[in-house]
A = this chain, B = another copy of it.
Amino acid sequence: MTTTGPGRPRKQQAVRPGATARDEILDAAAELFTSQGFANTSTRAIADAVGIRQSSLYHHFSTKDEILGELLGGTVSTSLAFARAVKDGSEETGQELDPAARLHAVVLFDGLQLCTSRWNLGVLYHLPEARAEVFQPFMAARQELRTIYGDLGRELTALSDADPGLGDTAFRLVESLINLRADGLIAMDSASTTADTVMILAGLRQKIQAVRDASSELISRYGEANRRGEASESALAAESA
């Protein structure tokens, strides 16, 4: 809310980033939910962080749950869209994509989201409250992402003696970036070393540089298309890209 518009003006001036009041609220809620938890964050605390009155939140969201739902959705949607694009990539172009590069790219892209987003939004998926019935659709989306990891892992290990559960292990390593970040232990290259670790598990230590290059190309191809078509998604998701 930097420009004037319709509606009664705020008493306090806003300091939150965000194009709209709704975005400011989501940004404040993201910070508080990830640092203090959901049940432990009052609607008053969110409102205070935005510079509006507690009840004014309800002009933009009808319940507190709706705010969490919006954040959960924005968190998984970008990575899932990218993973889907990479998975379907071969079909569209007709040309076979390197299985190693595909898994590497998904791990790296997803990992980068988790490491560089303004707030540690991955934490939201580990909040016990997110397991509630109402958030089932978001957990299902995360489950689909996990399935794609598994499929890409099996494609990669089909012809080798590496563990066919590689994709699941990759998913676990990516998710653990959330915990690493929560403990303040994230480094600049945490996402890329995670992707490399997965490749070592695939038995590709020797070919790592070639895989990195091919992965990088996939990210610039599908990651870019992904970001373009996603302008309507929440401003938070855009920020993290």
Residue among B129, B169, B193 making CB contact with A173, cutoff 8 Å: B169
Report Cα–Cα, A180/B126, bound state, in Å: 11
Instruction: Select the stretch in A33-41, A62-70, A103-111 that faces chain B.
Output: A33-41
Report Cα–Cα, A201/B175, bound state, in Å: 18
In the complex the two chains form, is B38's CB within 8 Å of A37's CB?
Answer: yes
Report Cα–Cα, A193/B34, bound state, in Å: 31
Residue A179 at the chain B interface, CB threshold 8 Å? yes
Question: Could you tell me the dominant secondary structure of chain A's interface residues?
Answer: helix
- Total identical chains: 2
Q: Which of A40, A129, A165, A182 is most buried by chain B, counting CB atoms within 10 A of its CB?
A: A40
Residue A226 at the chain B interface, CB threshold 8 Å? no
Report Cα–Cα, A37/B123, bound state, in Å: 13
In the complex the two chains form, is A179's CB within 8 Å of B175's CB?
Answer: yes
Report Cα–Cα, A48/B40, bound state, in Å: 22
Report Cα–Cα, A172/B187, bound state, in Å: 14
- Contacting residues of chain A (111-168) with chain B, CB-CB under 8 angstroms: 123, 126-129, 131, 163, 165
Residue A77 at the chain B interface, CB threshold 8 Å? no
Task: Report the minimal beta-carbon distance from A37 to chain B, rounded to whole angstroms.
Answer: 4
- Contacting residues of chain A (31-64) with chain B, CB-CB under 8 angstroms: 34-40
Given A34-B128, A172-B179, A173-B176, 18 further pairs, Cβ under 8 A: A35-B128, A36-B128, A37-B39, A37-B127, A37-B128, A38-B39, A39-B40, A123-B126, A123-B128, A126-B126, A126-B179, A126-B182, A163-B193, A163-B197, A169-B197, A172-B172, A175-B179, A197-B201
